[in-house]
Amino acid sequence: MGIISEVKCARCDRKYSGFRTRCPYCGARRSQRGKHAAENDNTKGKLLLGIIFLVVLIVVVIVLVISSNNKNPSRTDPPASSSLSSDEGVSSVEGTSPAPSTSPKASEAPVSPSPSATPAASVNSIGIYYLGEEKEDVTLSIGEVIDFDCEIDPEDAVDEKNIKWASSDEDAFVVLQTGEVTAIGTTDGAELTVTAGGKTATCIIRIY
């Protein structure tokens, strides 16, 4: 069924489009609606159906277009930010990979050699002194207390805390690590020793 109905010319009895006001064959003017090609032809009804069909078609096309856009949304990547950030002293643009750091890692940092310790001076000589004189044999009485000194050459070769005093007979006398000797018993001869820097000096202590 065509959208535009045809009419028959009242003069030549030929069919032509209902849009025409004259017959294209004989030129006769169509009177009112003219003579329809078919008695049951409804021009207005067909025209209305055609319009409805076009509207439905347009709606369907619009729906399809919208649905297609929703399924495949266009992606637009956001522009990279132009703000700068500092990463380990190297400026980089946000949104881009930061420039590799050129600073050495802590584990790769050059190790500075530790200064070598100054070797301690060796002790040349050591002696036991009392009142400024070196002693090798001293006689004491029971209960007497005297302070001995230790002299080392060179003087700064050994720290004082590394000087060790000792008594060979603590029943006869005792000695403190300061060099102080206390006579507590008789003896014909006990040894007082002092050691420092691998050197040892000896003094005989006699107590009566």
Residues 130/131/133/134 CA torsion (nearest 10 deg)? 10
| 154 part of a folded domain | yes
Structural domain contains residue 115: no
Range of the domain at 56: 6-69
- 14, 46 Cβ separation under 8 angstroms: no
> Quick check: 173 and 105 in contact, CB under 8 A?
no
Question: What is the distance between the alpha carbons of residues 21 and 33, in angstroms, rounded to a whole number?
Answer: 9
Question: Which CATH number belongs to the domain containing residue 152 in this structure?
Answer: 2.60.40.1080
Residue 14 inside a domain? The answer is: yes
**In-domain check, residue 194:** yes
Contact assessment for residue 165 and residue 171, using Cβ atoms and an 8 Å cutoff: no
pLDDT in tens, the chain (208 residues): 455 677 888 888 888 777 788 888 887 887 654 444 444 456 677 788 889 999 999 999 999 999 888 776 555 555 555 444 444 444 444 445 555 555 555 556 566 666 565 555 789 999 999 999 999 999 999 999 999 999 999 988 888 889 999 999 999 999 999 999 999 999 999 999 999 989 999 999 999 9
Is 169 inside a domain boundary?
A: yes
Last residue of a domain, one of 49, 69, 89: 69
Number of domains in the chain: 2
Closest among 9, 44, 12 to 30, alpha carbons compared: 9
* CB-based contact 80:95 (threshold 8 Å): yes
Please check whether residue 192 lies inside any domain of the structure.
Answer: yes
**End position of a domain, from candidates 32, 53, 69:** 69
In a domain, 81, yes or no: no
Does residue 130 sit in the same domain as residue 197? yes
pTM: 0.43
Domain final position from 46, 69, 92: 69
Within a domain: 60: yes
